[in-house]
Amino acid sequence: MAELKKFLIRRMLTFIPTVIGVTLITFMIAYVIPADPARAWAGGEKASQKAIELIRQRYHMDEPWYAQYWFLVTSLAKGELIDPRTHNPVMYDIMKRFPVTIELALFSFVFILIIGIPLGIISAIKKDSIIDTFVRFFALTGVSTPVFWLGYLLIYVFFVMFRVINIVGKPPDPAVVITGIPIIDALLIGDFKTVNQHVARYWLPGFVLGFMGAGVLARFVRNSFLEALSSDYIEFLKAKGVPKLRLWRHALKNALVPIVTVLGLQFGGLLSGTPITETVFSLPGMGRYAIQSIQNIDFPAIVAVTFLFAIIYVTANLIVDILYAIIDPRVRY
């Protein structure tokens, strides 16, 4: 346990350079675009010179880039950075939207898991059968289907034709905040009415966002599982007289290491899919907020969103590393 704690601390320390790197790159991109953010924030063409000056001063825009960056990051970390568009602290705006995005990502992750893993296992067991071909086709369709196209198609089917979903607003939060993610809190306190409302609102966007990942995961599970099944220890297990199900369990556990790696990456990938999904389904999440910020050259907000996405990403990877150690005794902290 002490080992684990040391490992966690060591890994947390590596978060710092990652997060700095990511935010710095984002800032630089925003910095070099040839536009005058101060003018945009002050109201565009009609902005008064005085207002523009004030904004420049407040955001240290006359100083060199590193001073600007330093100002952004430090005031962001202190929670003092004010968004020039909404005049709220940036972190306040983001934290309001964060649960929506996380919930969306969780729903699509669940879809990826419950579709991808069983399909992968079945297509490995029924290798080169019709099911296997179908999964191959499904994976290909998944990666080549644009999120917005599938999104609008399914909105047409489930909203316009059958009226079984709701695509506006945000379902109510449960009465108690424990983790900050509404559906989990609702589950924890047993508020199933709220749970139902959240499922009703999120299942379709979650499915659309997870669609691509599910096919990819299925193919990946299939290949890792087949590879594990062809190992020598599986042959020895057969020679021991072990029944099929037990063989598959051994193979699956061995296949889990690469699968978990891909799942970690996929969770990160989901985040990059949230802007479009949230826009299509009018979910008030961080992704949509990011797009709006980009449109308004609102780079304090852009840097803040990137900062949070980077943290989610590295946390997902940290969880992957911990899972490795749980699965594989050869992995030492």
Partner 1 sequence: MKPILEIKDLHVHFYTYAGVVKAIAGVSFTVYEGETFALVGETGCGKSVTSRAITRLIESPGRIVKGSVIYHTKDGRKIDLLKLPEAELRAIRGKEIAYIFQDPTAALDPLYTSGYQVAEAMVVHRTVRSWKDGIKRAIEILRSVLIPDPEKRVKAYPHELSGGMKQRVVIGTSLSNRPRVLIADEPTTALDVTIQAQILKLIESLKRRHNATVMLITHNMGVVAEIADRVAVMYAGKIVEIGNVFQIFKNPQHPYTKGLLKAVPNPLIKVEKLESIPGTVPNLINPPPGCRFHPRCPFVMDVCRVEEPPMVEVEPGHQVACWLYTKR
**Which residues here bind partner 1, judged by CB under 8 A?**
230-233, 235-243, 246, 250, 253-254, 327-330
CB of 11 vs partner 1, minimal distance in Å = 23
CB of 253 vs partner 1, minimal distance in Å = 5
Token couple for 40: 């945009």
- Which residue number, 58 or 249, has a Cβ lying nearer to partner 1? 249
CB of 243 vs partner 1, minimal distance in Å = 6
Identity of residue 196: N
- Which residue number, 50 or 240, has a Cβ lying nearer to partner 1? 240
- Which residue number, 263 or 286, has a Cβ lying nearer to partner 1? 263
CB of 125 vs partner 1, minimal distance in Å = 13
CA distance 205 to 167: 9
CA distance 89 to 86: 8
Backbone angles phi, psi at 89, to 5 degrees: -60, 140
- Which residue number, 1 or 239, has a Cβ lying nearer to partner 1? 239
Q: Which alpha helices (DSSP H) does the chain contain, by range?
A: 2-32, 37-42, 49-58, 65-77, 90-125, 130-144, 147-155, 182-189, 192-229, 232-240, 244-280, 286-295, 299-327
CB of 66 vs partner 1, minimal distance in Å = 48
CA distance 286 to 293: 10
259 contacts 221 by C-beta, under 8 angstroms: yes
- Which residue number, 173 or 227, has a Cβ lying nearer to partner 1? 227
- Which residue number, 124 or 297, has a Cβ lying nearer to partner 1? 124
CA distance 181 to 188: 11
280-285-290 Cα angle (round to 5): 85
CB of 10 vs partner 1, minimal distance in Å = 23
Partner residues linked to 89 by β-bridges: 82
